[in-house]
Chain A
Amino acid sequence: MKARTGLIWLTIIMLTVLPLWFAAVPSAEPGGTAPEAFSGADARAQQAITVIAPDYKPWFAPLFEPPSGEIASLLFALQAALGAGVIGFWLGTSVAREVAQKASPQDERED
């Protein structure tokens, strides 16, 4: 069980890290420029739209845009931190409960 969990983590890390070396070099769209390496797929789709429908004009703009890439990273990090915080709280209380139960097996479970 323990070994399998480690193996799963290792696979996830490899799947994330290996593409940094072995990824295909992005090719230029006909009529467009080559996209930046490791740009977002969303941005690349947007680029593809401008190739398929060069006359299309976006008819609505975001109400608020992060003033810079740094601020955008900050907000993404905040979103991830919120999620990770809740998961950490759950894991922490769960482990503490398990430890407490092992220490005093006679105690009634409260939940």
Chain B
Amino acid sequence: MHIMEGFLPPAHAIGWAAASAPFLAWGLRSMGRGLHAHPERRMLLGVAAAFAFLLSALKLPSVTGSCSHPTGVGLGALLFGPAAMVPVGFVVLLFQALLLAHGGLTTLGANVFSMAIVGPFVSYGVFRAVAAMGISRTVAVFLAACLGDLATYVTTSAQLAWAFPDPVAGFGVSFAKFAGIFALTQLPIAISEGLLTVLVVNAMARFNAHELRLLPVMALAKGKAA
């Protein structure tokens, strides 16, 4: 989902940066307030951030014969709410843009929007919806992380199709082409991310049951734990 450095026209680059900035500010505020009120959550927040660091460094092979990576931001969104993952995703993407020439500074806004904003918010929404239906926590966690991951790559496809519509047929054809590259590749990887997130949440339920019960999001699925 990394749009390469310089591969978005300036107007798009500035637009996405402007769209992402308020979310980043909100995320920093929400994270700071959360840690101030509940310093005992530092460990789990650290684990959620570490999970995003680890997963977004792993480029996995996929059925389309290309490689792509999970994002790992779904986990933190389920635990601390989607805003808290915006700064985490931002740090990961900044690290990769500066040191790895992976993504870029001019495309940072667009990449933050897809990976650190759309992904966590979709994960959060899916988790709440599935938990509200009374389905088990495991299924809710899996679907949330999996669909959040996919949503990130669909967003990237749309961003590129918007910037580079097909000269003849326009946005739709271009979107189909980019989605073929990103979203299709992502299918098995998104399933893996969903399963890994389930494993981590299960471990947290065993070792950090006390903290987990006090997290507002997780409380929704309380009592329905598998």
Residues of A within 8 A of B (CB): 1, 5, 8-9, 11-12, 15-16, 19-20, 22-26, 35, 37-42, 44-46, 48-49, 52-53, 56, 58-66, 72, 75-77, 79-80, 82-87, 90-91, 94-95, 97-98, 111
Contacts and interface: CB of A to CB of B under 8 A. Distances in A.
Given A8-B199, A58-B7, A38 B47 contact: no
Contacts of B51: 83, 87
Q: Classify the secondary structure of A's interface with B.
A: helix
B7 A46 contact: yes
Interface residues of B, number: 74
A60 B5 contact: yes
Given A8-B195, A16-B60, A83 B1 contact: no
Contact of B95 (A15, A23, A79): A79
Interface string B187-226: 0110110011011101100111010000000000000000
Chain B binding surface, main DSSP class? helix
A96 B37 CA distance: 27
B57 A23 contact: no
B43 A42 contact: no
B65 A37 contact: yes
Given A39-B67, A80-B57, A19 B164 contact: no
Interface string B70-95: 00100000000000000000001001
A12 to B, nearest CB: 5
Contact of B192 (A15, A63, A87, A97): A15
A107 to B, nearest CB: 15
A29 to B, nearest CB: 9
Nearest to B56: A79
B104 A60 contact: yes
A65 B101 contact: yes
Given A64-B101, A83-B50, 10 more contacts: A22-B63, A45-B182, A49-B164, A58-B4, A62-B5, A65-B101, A79-B57, A82-B50, A83-B54, A86-B46
Interface of B: 1-7, 9-10, 40, 43, 46-47, 49-68, 72, 92, 95-102, 104-106, 156, 160, 164-167, 174, 177-178, 181-182, 185-186, 188-189, 191-192, 195-196, 198-200, 202-203, 206-208, 210
A34 to B, nearest CB: 10
A40 B46 CA distance: 28
A23 B50 contact: no
B53 A5 contact: no
Contacts of B47: 86-87, 90
A76 to B, nearest CB: 5
B167 to A, nearest CB: 7
A40 B66 contact: yes
A41 B72 CA distance: 18
Nearest to A25: B65
Nearest to B183: A41
Contacts of B104: 60, 62
Contacts of A72: 100-102
B62 A23 contact: yes
